[in-house]
């Protein structure tokens, strides 16, 4: 009965131009290819990883089958000191690199914002893009060159200052420092450019008034510019956190996670566990733990930045 | 000298200092790539020397860098082309239509960009193994869609939404179908956004290591970063060759990054930072 009515209605409708019908279905036709492919390459693999995280998957013994093993992989993941060590190392890495990047970034942003020459500012802004666009593998390669303990430029420079040579990549602590140094070199420009953009949102009349009010740039920063900088600082924090969780290429090239496990950040560890120790099941469980962390992060990120954004 | 000029001196000095710190490591690599090995090992470092292009000849002709660069280029072009085919219509739908779940669909596209590669690489590897696609660029190009499609969707949705509404209404009255409106009117208007998205997606896929190293590991199929990395594995590191390889990889990136420098921060954060 109802179906018949619909058929009659459909037959009565002129199909050529019907704005309502257009609005309802057409967008999905345009969306479909993208959605299908992203489901296949973005969602399906995650389900697969979830499946693997509850099974024993050993790359070296796949013929023996992949039996369900309850939550054993998760228990192994949590009580594995290499994994928790890698998570801690990533947190320490973040806790050191972030304040340094923010500190240098704020100073550079203030300098760029206040500079007398728009032309110089333009040049510096373009140049700052180069480190952060650079192939992370190549950044790592540069690190192996400048931190080499025999002919590296860094040892030469500290030698001129009278400091004895350091075995940068052979010493646990120094390798961590070298990795941090490269990360800070590559990503401080990103923080700086975000903060330059934030500073430009300070209304010029307020800025001019403050310049008349006080000569102290620190006071200006604290009372006037900081509120405008906060969204940019939050953005830098969230993105840098996400990137340090992902950080793989540069560190893998520079140290491979070594010496020992001294620069083995969380992504490096999981990759090694999966593809060198062949323990795919536990590595999958560890990556699912990371995924939960990322989802929490991206929720935070979406709530912060896309609240008002409309595509 | 007047007061203004004196005050300008520290500003210029700091500016030059920033430029030097940002560029010097890159310069040092490129300098090493045109030095002889003895000059690379020299202490104190050699600043003035006769450049040699022997390392470039060697890595390109003998160490497989030429084909690796071509693989990288091919993967980058295929990634970008597929992402445009998939992402431009999606960006069009999100940018021009009002429909249920619109915002959710948009968030979902964008959120793929935040995915941690190490989570995806395990299933990618298992799938590629089962389908016998290890060492096939197909899997790599598909894997790269996880960042390339969100980039294209985000940039083109933005672009499409700024096209005046009257335009497609007028076209509809003239009897144009959906396909005509999309291909003949909308896509040409979105070309600037598509171009920026294409360059960013080229840069990001060109730079990628983790997926490439697991999915295309063999000498014959690997991309440029994987090849350069393999030079580090030998008994004695060929420093000059390594730096030549690094320079070859990074030169096009620098050129294109400068070209789209205004969009790079926005691209890295998918517009979260204006």
pLDDT at residue A15, as a whole number:
44
Closest by Cβ to A287, choosing from B7, B118, B228: B118
Domain ranges of chain B: 63-268
Which chain B residues touch A17 with a CB distance below 8 Å? Answer: 172-173
Determine the Cα–Cα distance for residues A276 and B133; give it in Å rounded to an integer.
Answer: 20
Task: Say whether residue B69 is in contact with chain A using an 8 A CB cutoff.
Answer: no
**CA torsion, points A70, A73, A78, A79, in degrees to nearest 10?**
100
**Burial state string for A72-96 with b = 16 or more CB within 10 A and e = fewer than 16:** ebbebbeebeebeebbebbeebbee
Contact of B211 with B143, CB cutoff 8 Å: yes
User: Phi-psi category of A63—alpha, beta or left, where left has phi over 0 and alpha has psi -120 to 50?
Assistant: alpha
Distance, CA of B114 to CA of B98 (rounded, Å): 26
DSSP line for A182-202: HHHHHHHHHHHHHHHHHHTTS
pLDDT, residue A70, reads 80
pLDDT at B235: 80
pLDDT band at A114 (very low <50, low <70, confident <90, very high): confident
The pair of structure tokens assigned to A172 is 């646990």
Instruction: Identify the CA nearest to A50 among candidates A23, A74, A20.
Output: A74
Measured between beta carbons, the chain B residues lying within 8 angstroms of A280 are 122, 126
A130 interaction partners in chain B (CB closer than 8 Å): 22-23, 26, 254, 257-258
Tokens describing residue A122: 């333009």
What confidence score (pLDDT) does residue B81 get? 97
- Identify the residue among A35, A107, A135, A285 best suited for mutation to test binding to B, counting B beta carbons within 10 A and taking the highest: A135
Q: Which residues of chain A lie closer than 8 angstroms to B26, CB-CB?
A: 130, 134, 142
Convert the pLDDT of each residue in B41-78 to its tens digit: 988 888 888 999 999 999 999 999 999 999 999 999 99
If you average pLDDT over every residue of chain A, what do you get? 85
Give residue limits of the domains in chain A. Answer: 74-305
Residue found by looking up tokens 């990549």 in the block: A169
> What dihedral do alpha carbons A31, A37, A39, A42 form, nearest 10°?
-120
Q: Is the pLDDT of residue B236 over 70?
A: yes
Contact A271, A32 (CB under 8 A): no
pLDDT tens digits along B110-131: 888 888 899 899 999 999 999 9
pLDDT at residue A298 in the model = 66
Closest by Cβ to A48, choosing from B95, B115, B123: B123
Q: How far apart are CA B78 and CA B101, in angstroms?
A: 30
CA distance A272 to A307: 38
Mark yes or no for CB contact B123/A45 under 8 Å.
yes
Question: Residue range B4-12: average pLDDT?
Answer: 77
Task: Name the most confidently modeled range: A49-58, B24-33, B190-199.
Answer: B24-33
First to last CA, chain B: 40
Distance, in Å, from the CA atom of A272 to the CA atom of B130, rounded to the nearest integer, reads 21
A269-A87-A130 Cα angle (round to 5): 75
Instruction: Decide: residue B7, CB within 10 A, 0-12 exposed, 13-18 middle, 19+ buried.
Output: exposed
Closest of A145, A142, A148 to residue A166, by C-alpha: A148
Residues 10-49 of chain B with CB under 8 A from chain A are: 11-12, 14-15, 18-19, 21-23, 25-26, 28-29, 32, 40-45
Note whether A129 contacts B246, CB cutoff 8 Å.
no
Contacts (Cβ under 8 Å, ≥6 apart) of A80: A282
According to DSSP, the residues that pair with A279 across neighbouring strands are A58
List, as one string, the DSSP characters of B222-240: --HHHHHHHGGGSSS--HH
User: Cβ–Cβ of B258/A129 closer than 8 Å?
Assistant: yes
Number of continuous H segments (helices) and E segments (strands) in chain A: 15, 0
Which residues between 46 and 85 in chain A have a beta carbon less than 8 angstroms from any beta carbon of chain B?
46, 48-49, 52, 57
B25 closest CB neighbour out of A137, A142, A190: A142
Residue B166 has pLDDT above 90, yes or no: no
- Tokens representing B258 are 């400068």
Chain B neighbors of A108, CB-CB under 8 A: 18
**Both tokens assigned to A222:** 């604290």
DSSP state of A58: B
Q: Find residues 250-269 of chain A whose CB sits inside 8 Å of chain B.
A: 252-253, 266-267
C-alpha distance from B266 to closest chain A C-alpha (Å) = 9
The shortest CB-CB distance from A138 to any of B22, B246, B261 is to B246
Fold topology of A74-305: MetI-like fold (1.10.3720)
| ipTM greater than 0.95 | no
Average pLDDT, integer, range A125-147: 95
pLDDT, one tens digit per residue, over A171-219 is: 999 999 999 999 999 999 999 999 988 888 888 888 788 878 777 778 8
Facing residue for B112 by CB, picked from A42, A137, A156: A42
Q: In the CATH scheme, what is the code of domain B63-268?
A: 1.10.3720.10
Cross-chain Cβ contact A115/B15 below 8 Å = yes
Nearest to A201 by CA among A297, A72, A95, A113: A113
The reported pLDDT for the residue numbered A222 is 77
Q: What are A68's strand-pairing partners?
A: A55
**Residues B250-260 pLDDT 10s:** 999 999 999 98
Query: CA–CA separation, A138 vs B249, rounded Å?
Result: 8
Contacts of B273 in chain A (CB under 8 A): 194, 197, 232, 235, 305
Contact A129 B264 (CB under 8 A): yes
Q: Is B255 within 8 Å of chain A by CB?
A: no
Instruction: Give the pLDDT confidence score for residue A94 in this predicted structure.
Output: 92
Tell me how far CA of residue A105 lies from CA of A97, A174, A190, B14, in angstroms: 12, 24, 8, 14
Q: How many CB pairs under 8 A join A and B?
A: 300
Output the average pLDDT for chain B: 90
CA-based angle A87:B123:B111, to the nearest 5?
70
- Percent of chain A at pLDDT > 70 equals 88
Q: Do B239 and A297 touch (CB under 8 A)?
A: no
**Measured between alpha carbons, how far is B102 from B113 in angstroms, rounded to an integer?**
18
**The two structure tokens encoding residue A60:** 């070296």
State residue A311's pLDDT score: 38
A137: Cα separation from own chain's centroid: 16
Pairwise CB contact (< 8 Å): A142 & B127:
no
For A28-45, write each residue's pLDDT tens digit.
999 999 999 999 999 999
Partner B, chain A 274-303, Cβ-Cβ below 8 Å: 274-275, 280, 283-284, 287-288, 290-291, 294, 297-298, 301-302
What is the residue whose two structure tokens read 């369900």?
A68
Contacts of B120 in chain A (CB under 8 A): 41-42, 45-46, 49
- Which residues, including other chains, have CB under 8 Å from residue A173's CB and lie 6 or more apart? A262
Distance from CA of A311 to the nearest CA of B (A): 6
Q: CB–CB of A267 and B117 under 8 A?
A: yes
Whole-prediction pTM value? 0.88
Neighbours of A276 (CB within 10 A): 9
How far is it, in rounded angstroms, from Cα B248 to Cα A172? 31
Interface list for B 114-173 with A (CB within 8 A) = 114-127, 142-143, 145-146, 149, 153-154, 157-158, 161, 172-173
* Nearest C-alpha neighbor of A74 from the set A90, A55, A88: A55
Q: Per DSSP, what are the bridge partners of residue A58? A: A279
* Nearest alpha carbon to residue B269 among B146, B86, B147, B118: B147
More confident residue, A155 or A70: A155
């Amino acid at each position: 009965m109802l179906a018949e009515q619909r058929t009659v209605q459909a037959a009565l409708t002129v199909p050529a131009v019907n704005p309502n019908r257009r609005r309802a279905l057409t967008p999905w036709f345009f969306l479909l290819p993208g959605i299908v492919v992203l489901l296949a390459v973005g969602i399906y693999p995650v389900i697969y990883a979830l499946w693997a995280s509850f099974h024993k998957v050993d790359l070296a013994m796949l013929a023996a089958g992949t039996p369900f093993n309850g939550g054993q992989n998760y228990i192994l993941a949590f009580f594995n000191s290499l994994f928790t060590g890698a998570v801690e190392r990533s947190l320490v890495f973040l806790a050191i690199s972030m304040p340094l990047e923010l500190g240098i970034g704020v100073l550079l942003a203030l300098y760029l914002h206040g500079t007398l020459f728009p032309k110089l500012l333009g040049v510096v802004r373009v140049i700052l893009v180069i480190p952060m666009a650079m192939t992370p593998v190549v950044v790592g390669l540069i690190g192996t060159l400048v931190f080499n303990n025999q002919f590296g430029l860094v040892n030469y420079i500290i030698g001129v200052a009278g400091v004895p040579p350091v075995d940068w990549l052979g010493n646990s602590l120094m390798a961590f420092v070298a990795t941090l140094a490269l990360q800070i070199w590559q990503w401080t420009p990103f923080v700086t450019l975000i903060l330059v953009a934030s500073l430009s949102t300070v209304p010029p009349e307020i800025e001019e008034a403050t310049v008349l009010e006080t000569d102290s740039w620190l006071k200006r920063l604290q009372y006037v510019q900081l509120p405008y900088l906060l969204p940019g600082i939050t953005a830098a924090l969230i993105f840098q956190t996400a990137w340090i969780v992902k950080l793989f290429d540069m560190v893998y090239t520079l140290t491979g996670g070594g010496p020992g496990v001294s620069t083995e950040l969380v992504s490096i560890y999981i990759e090694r566990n999966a593809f060198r120790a062949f323990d795919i099941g536990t590595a999958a469980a560890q990556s699912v733990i990371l995924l939960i962390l990322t989802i929490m992060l991206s929720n935070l990120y979406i709530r912060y930045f896309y609240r008002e954004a409309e595509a | 000298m007047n007061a203004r000029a004196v005050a300008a001196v520290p500003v210029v000095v700091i500016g030059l200092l920033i430029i030097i710190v940002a560029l010097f490591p890159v310069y040092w690599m490129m300098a090493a790539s045109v030095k002889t090995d003895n000059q690379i090992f020299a202490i104190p470092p050699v600043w003035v020397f006769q450049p040699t292009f022997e390392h470039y000849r060697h890595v390109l002709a003998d160490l497989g860098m030429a084909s690796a660069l071509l693989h990288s280029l091919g993967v980058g072009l295929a990634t970008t082309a597929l992402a445009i085919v998939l992402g431009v219509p999606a960006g069009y739908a999100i940018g021009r239509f009002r429909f249920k779940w619109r915002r959710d669909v948009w968030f979902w596209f964008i959120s793929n960009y935040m995915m941690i590669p190490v989570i995806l690489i395990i299933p990618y590897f298992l799938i590629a193994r089962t389908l016998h696609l290890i060492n096939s660029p197909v899997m790599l190009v598909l894997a790269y869609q996880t960042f390339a499609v969100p980039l294209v969707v985000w940039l083109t949705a933005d672009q499409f939404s700024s096209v005046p509404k009257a335009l497609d209404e007028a076209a509809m009255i003239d009897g144009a179908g959906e396909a005509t409106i999309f291909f003949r009117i909308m896509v040409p208007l979105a070309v600037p956004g598509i171009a920026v998205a294409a360059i960013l997606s080229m840069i990001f896929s060109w730079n990628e290591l983790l997926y490439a190293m697991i999915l295309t590991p063999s000498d014959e199929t690997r991309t440029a970063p994987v090849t350069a990395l393999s030079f580090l594995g030998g008994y004695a590191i060929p420093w000059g060759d390594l730096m030549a390889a690094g320079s070859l990889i990074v030169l096009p990136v620098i050129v294109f990054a400068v070209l789209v420098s205004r969009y790079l921060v926005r691209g890295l954060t998918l517009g979260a930072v204006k």
